[in-house]
Amino acid sequence: MSFGGGFISKEGNLSLLVVPYVDEHGIKHTPRFQIKGLVRDKTEEWAKLLYGRLVEIKKQKSKELEETKQRSEAFDVFEKLKKLKELHDAEILTDEEFEEKKRKLLDLL
Protein backbone atom coordinates (compact mmCIF):
# COMPACT_ATOMS: atom_id res chain seq x y z
CA MET A 1 0.00 0.00 0.00
CA SER A 2 1.07 3.54 -0.56
CA PHE A 3 -0.42 6.60 1.05
CA GLY A 4 -0.74 10.02 -0.49
CA GLY A 5 -1.13 11.79 2.84
CA GLY A 6 -4.35 12.91 4.43
CA PHE A 7 -6.30 16.13 4.30
CA ILE A 8 -9.45 17.72 5.67
CA SER A 9 -12.20 18.54 3.21
CA LYS A 10 -15.57 20.28 3.38
CA GLU A 11 -18.59 18.84 1.58
CA GLY A 12 -21.60 20.98 2.34
CA ASN A 13 -21.92 21.19 6.13
CA LEU A 14 -19.69 18.14 6.66
CA SER A 15 -16.04 18.19 7.64
CA LEU A 16 -14.27 15.10 6.32
CA LEU A 17 -10.87 13.58 6.85
CA VAL A 18 -9.76 12.15 3.50
CA VAL A 19 -6.97 9.54 3.44
CA PRO A 20 -6.18 8.46 -0.15
CA TYR A 21 -4.11 5.33 -0.68
CA VAL A 22 -3.28 2.63 -3.23
CA ASP A 23 -3.71 -0.96 -2.02
CA GLU A 24 -1.46 -3.93 -2.71
CA HIS A 25 -3.36 -4.63 -5.95
CA GLY A 26 -2.76 -1.13 -7.32
CA ILE A 27 -6.36 -0.03 -6.72
CA LYS A 28 -6.82 3.57 -5.60
CA HIS A 29 -9.05 4.24 -2.58
CA THR A 30 -10.14 7.54 -1.07
CA PRO A 31 -11.98 6.83 2.20
CA ARG A 32 -13.63 9.77 3.88
CA PHE A 33 -14.20 9.93 7.63
CA GLN A 34 -16.78 12.36 8.94
CA ILE A 35 -15.55 14.66 11.68
CA LYS A 36 -18.18 15.87 14.16
CA GLY A 37 -17.87 18.42 16.91
CA LEU A 38 -14.11 18.55 17.10
CA VAL A 39 -12.04 21.69 17.23
CA ARG A 40 -9.34 22.08 14.60
CA ASP A 41 -6.42 21.11 16.90
CA LYS A 42 -8.13 17.87 17.95
CA THR A 43 -9.06 17.09 14.35
CA GLU A 44 -5.46 17.46 13.25
CA GLU A 45 -4.30 15.35 16.19
CA TRP A 46 -6.81 12.64 15.33
CA ALA A 47 -5.87 12.79 11.65
CA LYS A 48 -2.18 12.35 12.51
CA LEU A 49 -2.97 9.36 14.74
CA LEU A 50 -5.09 7.75 12.03
CA TYR A 51 -2.47 8.37 9.37
CA GLY A 52 0.24 6.99 11.66
CA ARG A 53 -1.79 3.83 12.18
CA LEU A 54 -2.26 3.42 8.42
CA VAL A 55 1.50 3.77 7.93
CA GLU A 56 2.07 1.06 10.59
CA ILE A 57 -0.36 -1.24 8.77
CA LYS A 58 1.45 -0.58 5.50
CA LYS A 59 4.82 -1.46 7.06
CA GLN A 60 3.40 -4.67 8.54
CA LYS A 61 1.83 -5.72 5.23
CA SER A 62 5.09 -4.97 3.39
CA LYS A 63 7.00 -7.07 5.93
CA GLU A 64 4.53 -9.95 5.56
CA LEU A 65 4.77 -9.75 1.77
CA GLU A 66 8.59 -9.84 1.92
CA GLU A 67 8.53 -12.84 4.29
CA THR A 68 6.16 -14.69 1.95
CA LYS A 69 8.42 -13.89 -1.00
CA GLN A 70 11.48 -15.19 0.87
CA ARG A 71 9.70 -18.43 1.82
CA SER A 72 8.65 -18.90 -1.79
CA GLU A 73 12.20 -18.34 -3.03
CA ALA A 74 13.58 -20.80 -0.45
CA PHE A 75 11.00 -23.40 -1.52
CA ASP A 76 12.06 -22.87 -5.15
CA VAL A 77 15.71 -23.48 -4.22
CA PHE A 78 14.79 -26.72 -2.43
CA GLU A 79 12.83 -27.90 -5.47
CA LYS A 80 15.82 -27.17 -7.70
CA LEU A 81 18.08 -29.08 -5.29
CA LYS A 82 15.78 -32.11 -5.55
CA LYS A 83 15.90 -32.01 -9.35
CA LEU A 84 19.66 -31.57 -9.25
CA LYS A 85 19.97 -34.65 -7.01
CA GLU A 86 17.81 -36.64 -9.43
CA LEU A 87 20.10 -35.65 -12.32
CA HIS A 88 23.13 -36.66 -10.28
CA ASP A 89 21.58 -39.99 -9.26
CA ALA A 90 20.75 -40.67 -12.93
CA GLU A 91 24.43 -40.01 -13.68
CA ILE A 92 23.56 -37.12 -15.99
CA LEU A 93 25.71 -34.81 -13.86
CA THR A 94 29.21 -35.66 -12.67
CA ASP A 95 30.10 -35.36 -8.98
CA GLU A 96 31.94 -32.12 -9.71
CA GLU A 97 29.03 -30.60 -11.67
CA PHE A 98 26.58 -31.64 -8.97
CA GLU A 99 28.67 -30.12 -6.15
CA GLU A 100 29.23 -26.88 -8.06
CA LYS A 101 25.56 -26.40 -8.91
CA LYS A 102 24.49 -27.43 -5.40
CA ARG A 103 26.84 -24.85 -3.86
CA LYS A 104 25.44 -22.12 -6.14
CA LEU A 105 21.88 -22.99 -5.15
CA LEU A 106 22.71 -23.11 -1.44
CA ASP A 107 24.36 -19.70 -1.72
CA LEU A 108 20.94 -18.33 -2.71
CA LEU A 109 19.49 -19.22 0.71
DSSP state of 26: S
Q: Are 17 and 40 in contact (CB under 8 A)?
A: no
For 8-32, what is each residue's pLDDT tens digit? 777 787 778 788 888 878 889 888 8
Checking if the pLDDT of 41 tops 70, the result is no
When divided into structural domains, the chain yields a total of 1
Give the ranges where the chain is alpha helix by DSSP (H): 40-89, 95-107
Structure confidence at residue 39 (pLDDT) = 60
14 has which bridge partners?
A: 11
Q: 55 falls in which pLDDT band (50, 70, 90)? A: confident
State the residue range of the domain holding 54.
2-107
Q: Are 48 and 9 in contact (CB under 8 A)?
A: no
